[in-house]
Amino acid sequence: MANLEEDLIFASKLIEDKEKCGEYFTIFNRLWPFATVNMKEYLEPYNLEGKTCVTLQGSSDHIFELALKNPKEIIGFDINPLTGYYGNLKIAALKALKTQEEYLTFFRNKGYSNKLFNKETFKEISKYLEGNAKIFWEELFQTYSSWQIRENLFSKDEGNWSEIKGALNYITPENYAYLKNNVQNINFTFMNTDVKELASRLPYNVDFITLSNLIIYAQGLFPENTLENWHRLIELLALRLNKDGHIIAGYFYEIENEDDYRDMYNKKLRDKIFNSSSYSYHLFTKMDDLARQKTSSNHDATLVYTK
């Protein structure tokens, strides 16, 4: 968040003229309001107490899900600089708002829209914002309506309440209260960087890296030799991994779906490249728009590298 003025101009363009500027922006320029992966199950196997963790930032929900595992440090990264400000807003909200219901009322669209990004609530949250994050959000809330900010700065990719509740741990009353009481122990920093540059940008070696569902966009990131280039990216990140560390090389929605056009969903091609003993799969309950499909024989899955 070193380029505050540029980031405010960027955010204002997104908010003010969505249609006119639409051709200049991609889905990665907007913010994800909440996670779109099953964090409850995909992060469950990992003991991260006292560990240094790196996560794709996205909705910033990874900050809280990882914090429940008591790591030493959490480093968020994202090519979109605005995600850093959003992470700080969510942490400030955790400090300011007493219950997860108040938190959800402020951030959630579906089912909570009557007080979405409510300005009176923001005044309370802003007391816990600092530095550039405070300036950024106060400028936006002074300039635009709550509706303008939430409608145009964010993507529409947000599941219903039952779906979100099935995918996240931190929004239960007990876990929210635990995080609120221990928020001072959340050691979080944000890096505005492309995943292709992540290995060279990390300040030191780490214990756990999750790229979340970025793998499903690998075809766009590497149009040629997608699988080989993604494998090379993971191998470079592995050089920054401590012994017995893990990399979540990718989250797959319904991994058995080989009708998907992307090379990553072709098991034969994928297993030909990710073929060493360092790679394994973690299968768990398939989610359909984040709602558990207990009657399905298919699975969501992560591709995991273990050092």
* DSSP string over 16-35: H-HHHHGGG--GGGSBPSS-
Lowest mean pLDDT among 66-70, 108-112, 225-229, 256-260: 108-112
pLDDT value at residue 89? 98
178-183: average pLDDT:
96
**Percent share of the chain, pLDDT over 70:** 88
What tokens appear for 228 in the block?
């080989």
CB–CB of 162/108 below 8 Å? no
Distance in angstroms (rounded) separating the CA atoms of residues 40 and 206:
22
Res. 291 pLDDT band, cuts 50 70 90: very low
Q: Which two tokens stand for residue 147?
A: 């509706």
Place of tokens 């600089």: 81
Whether residue 304 contacts residue 246, with contact meaning beta carbons closer than 8 Å, is answered with yes
100: left (phi over 0), alpha (psi -120 to 50) or beta: alpha
Beta strand 206-210 pairing with 52-56: parallel
What's the rounded Cα separation, in Å, for the pair 161 and 127? 28
Element containing residue 301 per DSSP (H, E): strand 299-306
152 vs 297, more confident: 152
214: its two tokens: 């970025």
Phi-psi region of 51 (alpha: psi -120 to 50; beta: other; left: phi over 0): beta
Sign of torsion, CA 183 187 192 197? Answer: negative
The DSSP letter of residue 11 is H
57/37 Cα distance (integer angstroms): 13
Q: Are 307 and 241 in contact (CB under 8 A)?
A: yes
Of 112-116, 134-138, 215-219, 247-251, give the lowest mean pLDDT range: 112-116
Torsion angle of the four alpha carbons 270, 273, 277, 279, in this order, in degrees rounded to the nearest 10: -50
Q: What is the pTM of this model?
A: 0.92
